[in-house]
Structure 1
């Protein structure tokens, strides 16, 4: 058996896998003070960002749900991996060769973690399909692409391939590459019959479906032959890698544009994504064999940084979601379903429907790239589309039809979140119906009062308590802008929105200035360990501190873990060394302290750290002086104990004066 991974190699992985890059593949991060980044937490629903990343410390922490850790723990949580699998995953991406304690050699082929083996199988399969696209048999597939305006370069850009008609072409290829039958069954690349396993995809054009990191996790395959009795599109089934409710085709290619433009275009098929990207609409994605749902909303919101605020105002240039649908009944139903999800976005949502009923692929094929871009520019608000679709199902030429249309559409207008736009759409609805404006407004108001309008966004679900925490002992408080103060509900400095607070582990109440000082000092020790170790002044102050400097028991335990780890260090895994000494009970507290932004504007970290530690030591010396004065009074004048206490008092006061003079 391979044994455990060498500790030094784990430290190298942490150093070479920048936490901001790994987290940034899943969360749109933006600056949150010097050396700190923030975004929407991927582990619980929230509308104001409380998820912070501190690259210098190599840690992340969510002040909403209380989760936190290093880059390895993020991958474990995000992808559901074991510790070993997460380290191996990051090591492969960072180019680190791992050593194992038992035997001292890398794991042999076939003994890696399950996820890595499945990813390898999909990578080999994707390469196989691409190679087969050039075969004589695949001419039908190449013709399919050419007819739709996609040449060889386009096929290569999107990794399009061809699955041969034979029953075991891919299966045998994977076997020759060392994959076991159990791994093939688990991968979803094969099906199983009475005679054993065989290729799931046969005689089809194949698109690789990648997760946001770029790893292939599944395939979508289009029928090409008339005698193929299967569905028009066949996708990978649910596997440990592939969860269709969470996957968006093209997200790996679109994520950069989605982040920068804060806009996502949702289309209906693989060729539509290709057409959009080739036409310059590089933020297009598509669902994979399922309707756009709640899990997709979460993925998109995190990438856009969809945090509400200004984007809900008229004329805003905030985040946008643009749905493209066919003009047929199925497209209208899809739009209505998207409307039911609209309340989960804080972005503006739009619909882009071609007047001729063509999808983006057909538009590009017949009218060119400019027409695809024009389709996106001609978008209309989603609620306008839904209102018009609702009206179209009624006969507006009769009084009864108009009244029925009003009753059906008034709740839609009542559900518009922007209270500035709501009366404007009531006025428009009156015009479309040919009815009195006030009568329509009264119907809208009645729908709102009766609760028939689209419900306001529900409060985010509370995250379950962390393992080992005492449920109900308290709630995790959000930090202020400096991160070291408690008070009224915190406000996002950019949007003015109240930041969400959900249940989590109890933490010290930092309204007490002494508690704030202790938390800040620990934050400095964890985040500026390198600067402290290089500063003789800061190290001198640190040397005078002891566990009794901290009145909060868990802070005292953290400081003792710092001392057990050897004191402040410039090592890239310094914080992880402290966590190891402290144990799992204090891991969340350490992550929070290591990630909370410091009230420091950068510059020379050494003097700043020394000044913070000096203020804490000043408090400690003051407490000790007070204790000695009490001891003198209790001992009585002229006693040996009083003289001894007095001598100690003089020494402490001298140290405090020198400290304040510095």
Structure 2
């Protein structure tokens, strides 16, 4: 078991993976004031930049869509990676050696290094295959591509290569590059027989399969020669890098379009992905040697942002998934299996099937790019396709056949995500069956109740953050001067803690300020997180991220927003005192409110009473404290 990553190593990754460089590879960032960068948000479509990065704080936040976090969370959201994989990806780039912990025992040494070696072996193999495609022997592969409408530029775009015939061409090349036999075995690039290892892919056209970050983790190979007794398509076996149930071919090329358009197109083969992308459908992906399954759903959902909010209903997230299948029986079976996964999406699901049974590659050959785009335009809701498919397997000319068809189709209609559509499709089903509408509607309702009884609530959206109602309900009004003052003071503490703490006024205010000074519930909770994290004057380089972790997932986005909001101050030499006056303003407002409360208490208690005298004494103390804040 790998265990959890050492916390100090995670902090080292944040520190040594510059957030502005990582984000800058995906977002064009421009200066937006002292210490702040701004660009177009990669997580939603916008024309005016609202995506802010604060390198000194190590945080980013989009004021348009509300997303925010640290460099690790940026990679998680951008590439759809789990936390540990995002850390490992950044650690490799930053040169941080990770340590793993599980129950107090460290992870076996060498695992991280082995991953790097396997990735390097795949990079070398991909380059070798691509080079071999130009060889005389590979003419059969070039002909295969040309006959399907793919020229040299298309082959280069997708990294298509050729594995030469013979037993050890790739193995010899990798060994000459410094890789050991054990590394070759672990990579899945070789097979092993009685006489030792030999190339797994031989005499085949080869597609590199990349993970979401663009690293080659495996290959898919197509049979070309008649004497090849192997399967038509041969993939890399399960390895430490390659998990076919989690891999989608073309995801590295499609992730940007999937994220921007919030739509994923799932096709059946490598050439179908190529045809779609070349036709302008750049959000197309395909499974690799296995059916579309639960793990694929998770990958697609993360990229589309198919999570919604706490109140988002199934089918209302705005995301879409379009499946394309052949029109044959295998394609229908694939559609039926995909429908079983339908409830795991908040997205609306569709299916696009050519009436002549052609796949996207065939359509592009015969009708060009427009034919591929037309296929997607003809998509129909997945449930409608499944209904019609279930009806086609019954003899609707007989009463028995119609009843059997109703029993098969009613649960499909009863399971439609958009409840407003159910009555309409119940009427359509009655028409297709030639049965009474009321009878079909009753059958649909009964099937729907049975479905709810067996499955209870639909699965919650993965990635949805549980929100504390008390915090979520207190929506700060940005026009309120008190709200602005509280927000700016927290921005000062998150962005310039050392400078403020080194100023005499700042040190005084920090000592006297408490969470009760904040009237906005979110801001009060953030200040409590600041207090729990440490003393602003002695913070580490990962201060803002430490505060966000202390605040918890509900408030992490609020911390990000405060940590990247530009401060209206452009004199670094006077930043500390200016920040101190901002904090003093919050403390002054708090003292003023407390004095008002005490005056009311003194009036209610009456003059000369012990309670009234105590309130008066406290008022005098607070007035003195307030004057000291206001003195220049």
Shared fold, TM over 0.5: yes
Give a deviation string over 1:203-241, Cα, whole Å, max 9, x none: 111001111111111111111112222111111112222
The answer to whether the aligner puts 1:615 opposite 2:586 as a matched pair is yes
Q: Once structures 1 and 2 are overlaid, which stretch shifts more, 446-455 or 262-271?
A: 446-455
Matching residue of 1:478: 467
Q: Aligned equivalents of 1:79 and 1:347: distance in 2?
A: 23
Q: Match for 2:495 among 528, 543, 553?
A: 528
Q: Aligned equivalents of 1:557 and 1:456: distance in 2?
A: 37
Partner SS for 1:351: strand
Matching residue of 2:408: 408
Partner SS for 1:544: helix
Q: Aligned equivalents of 2:380 and 2:217: distance in 1?
A: 34
Give a deviation string over 1:371-415, Cα, whole Å, max 9, x none: 111111111111111110010011011111111111111111111
Call closer, same or farther: CA 1:453–1:545 in 2, change over 3 Å.
closer
Partner SS for 1:113: helix
Matching residue of 2:450: 450
Q: Aligned equivalents of 1:352 and 1:127: distance in 2?
A: 35
Q: Aligned equivalents of 1:457 and 1:142: distance in 2?
A: 52
Matching residue of 1:179: 179
Is the contact between residue 521 and residue 616 of structure 1 (CA under 8 Å) also seen in structure 2? no
Call closer, same or farther: CA 1:392–1:591 in 2, change over 3 Å.
closer
TM-score relative to the length of structure 1: 0.70
Q: Aligned equivalents of 1:169 and 1:13: distance in 2?
A: 38
The answer to whether the aligner puts 1:257 opposite 2:253 as a matched pair is no
Call closer, same or farther: CA 1:308–1:243 in 2, change over 3 Å.
same
TM-score relative to the length of structure 2: 0.73
Call closer, same or farther: CA 1:560–1:252 in 2, change over 3 Å.
closer
Q: Aligned equivalents of 1:254 and 1:82: distance in 2?
A: 19
Call closer, same or farther: CA 1:306–1:590 in 2, change over 3 Å.
closer
Q: Aligned equivalents of 1:340 and 1:617: distance in 2?
A: 60
The answer to whether the aligner puts 1:11 opposite 2:15 as a matched pair is yes
Deviation at 1:193, TM superposition (A): 2.2
Matching residue of 1:545: 510
Matching residue of 2:439: 439
Call closer, same or farther: CA 1:548–1:399 in 2, change over 3 Å.
same
Give a deviation string over 1:168-211, Cα, whole Å, max 9, x none: 11112112222222222221112222232221111111001111
Matching residue of 2:43: 29
Matching residue of 1:78: 82
Is the contact between residue 211 and residue 247 of structure 1 (CA under 8 Å) also seen in structure 2? yes
Deviation at 1:265, TM superposition (A): 1.0
5 Å-filtered alignment, 1:94-493, equals 113-307=113-307, 318-451=318-451, 455=455, 458-460=458-460, 478=467, 485=471, 487=473
Partner SS for 1:264: strand
Is the contact between residue 485 and residue 582 of structure 2 (CA under 8 Å) also seen in structure 1? no
Q: Once structures 1 and 2 are overlaid, which stretch shifts more, 267-276 or 554-563?
A: 554-563
Call closer, same or farther: CA 1:135–1:348 in 2, change over 3 Å.
same
Q: Aligned equivalents of 1:459 and 1:317: distance in 2?
A: 14
Partner SS for 1:485: helix
Matching residue of 1:575: 544
Give a deviation string over 1:68-97, Cα, whole Å, max 9, x none: 9843588798374597x55542337xxxxx
Call closer, same or farther: CA 1:406–1:387 in 2, change over 3 Å.
same
Matching residue of 2:627: 657
Larger RCO (CA under 8 A, 6+ residues apart) = 1
Is the contact between residue 72 and residue 86 of structure 1 (CA under 8 Å) also seen in structure 2? no
Partner SS for 2:296: helix
Moved over 6 A (4+): 7-10, 20-24, 34-38, 53-56, 73-77, 309-314, 516-522, 551-557, 620-627, 648-651
Q: Aligned equivalents of 2:631 and 2:564: distance in 1?
A: 24
Call closer, same or farther: CA 1:613–1:312 in 2, change over 3 Å.
same
Bigger proportion of residues as helix: 2
Q: Once structures 1 and 2 are overlaid, which stretch shifts more, 164-173 or 111-120?
A: 111-120
Partner SS for 2:439: helix
Is the contact between residue 335 and residue 386 of structure 1 (CA under 8 Å) also seen in structure 2? yes
Deviation at 1:138, TM superposition (A): 0.8
Structure 2 residue ranges without an equivalent (≥5): 1-7, 29-40, 62-67, 99-109, 476-482, 517-523, 570-577, 599-616
Call closer, same or farther: CA 1:245–1:462 in 2, change over 3 Å.
closer
- Number of matched residues? 553
Q: Aligned equivalents of 1:322 and 1:258: distance in 2?
A: 11
Q: Aligned equivalents of 1:217 and 1:461: distance in 2?
A: 29
Give a deviation string over 1:529-588, Cα, whole Å, max 9, x none: 27x83899x873354323884689997785375437635x9x7x5536xx4xx9xxx944
Call closer, same or farther: CA 1:222–1:600 in 2, change over 3 Å.
closer
Call closer, same or farther: CA 1:135–1:524 in 2, change over 3 Å.
same
5 Å-filtered alignment, 1:570-609, equals 573-575=542-544, 579=546, 587-589=549-551, 595-596=557-558, 604-605=567-568
Call closer, same or farther: CA 1:557–1:382 in 2, change over 3 Å.
closer
Call closer, same or farther: CA 1:487–1:553 in 2, change over 3 Å.
closer
Give a deviation string over 1:317-372, Cα, whole Å, max 9, x none: 93221111011111000000111111111222111111111111111112222111
Matching residue of 2:535: 563
